[in-house]
Structure 1
Amino acid sequence: MTSQEQPPRGSGTEEGAPDPRADRREQRRALVGQGLNAAQAAATIGPVLADKGNQDSFLALIRSGESASSAAAALGITRAAVYQYRDRDSRFAGALQKAMTEGQKARKAQRQAEREAERRSSSGWDYETVSRETGLSVATLRSYKSTGHMPPPDDPAGPSWLPETIRAWRENRPGQGYRSDLNG
């Protein structure tokens, strides 16, 4: 068969079986074009999730925090096909529920980490700010930091301290003339 005589993509092999390399989205569009709704088209394409490797890939995406729609799209199927398969396979339904719970936790942890990073980046105090807040010179603060007489920076790259770190240190540090050699 020459390149001009090759069957169009997705039309099948010589035995009449569907071409396994055909894009599922193209197949689904063709079925929808024949009058099937999206859910019927997804069910007609075949049980993509019956393959254990596809299930594992899908569930890994869900556990990482992806939505069911985006995880399904990664496999070339619809979210409706996922839920139809879930309704038919109780083992997959249990694994999907567990993966969704883990995915929710992953998304929550990611949001918390992003909020904390934003809070730290927007509210860190540098030496000059700490100096204004405490009344100590920048040189004194640098000396205190190098000798361990002030808390380590919350962001060592800055260095910067969170306001609550400096306030707690200021409230609990010994005052001028404190004799640590006599008082411990």
Structure 2
Amino acid sequence: MGTIRETLTRALSGTTGPSSDFDFGGAPPGEVALRPAGVLAAFDAVDGRLILTKRASSLRHHPGQIALPGGKVDPGDADEIAAALREAHEEVGLDPARVEVLGTMPAHRTITGFAMTPVLALVHGPFAPVPEMGEVEEVFTVPFAHVSDPANYHVEGRIWRGARRDYYVAPWGPYYIWGATARVLHSLATRIAR
């Protein structure tokens, strides 16, 4: 398969098109201005482990969910890449100087009105996470082999606001990776498998 860098770079040259929380049905609201956001899919440059967070259970939006570090583009951010790097530094203490950005995948439209751009990157050197108090309950890593294998993803669903919503899940140990995070990672796994 080659090195982690080679594998991710090859995946970036593939195509899967944009994705959406509405991929499995349900109509998105009419024309709405999506808010730009960036999330960092940061893989250890040596062993390929992906950094993920468990959001604090006290948060108003997506409490307790597993997520890639990231967030909305703020006025001081140059673009989605800058937002992802800034947020990863704030949320998990990842020094941007240790991050090698490889590129971006097409934006994922979330049900909450964001155009979430996944930024693929490598982390060089040791990384000791520092979870942001009140935002991040836990920082953990997932093996590259789990994230990059499409067979580890399947579709589940639940009733949300009176309608059935289907979504990808990719559970790993005690962590239930689902929704937009799993959808973005599934797109990456599909690109890697081609």
TM-score bracket, normalised by the shorter chain, equals under 0.3
Which structure has more strand as a fraction of its residues? 2
Higher Cα radius of gyration? 1
Q: Per chain length, whose mean CA-contact separation is higher, i.e. which structure has more relative contact order (CA < 8 Å, sep 6+)?
A: 2
TM-score of the aligned structures, taking structure 1 as reference length: 0.19
Which structure has more helix as a fraction of its residues? 1
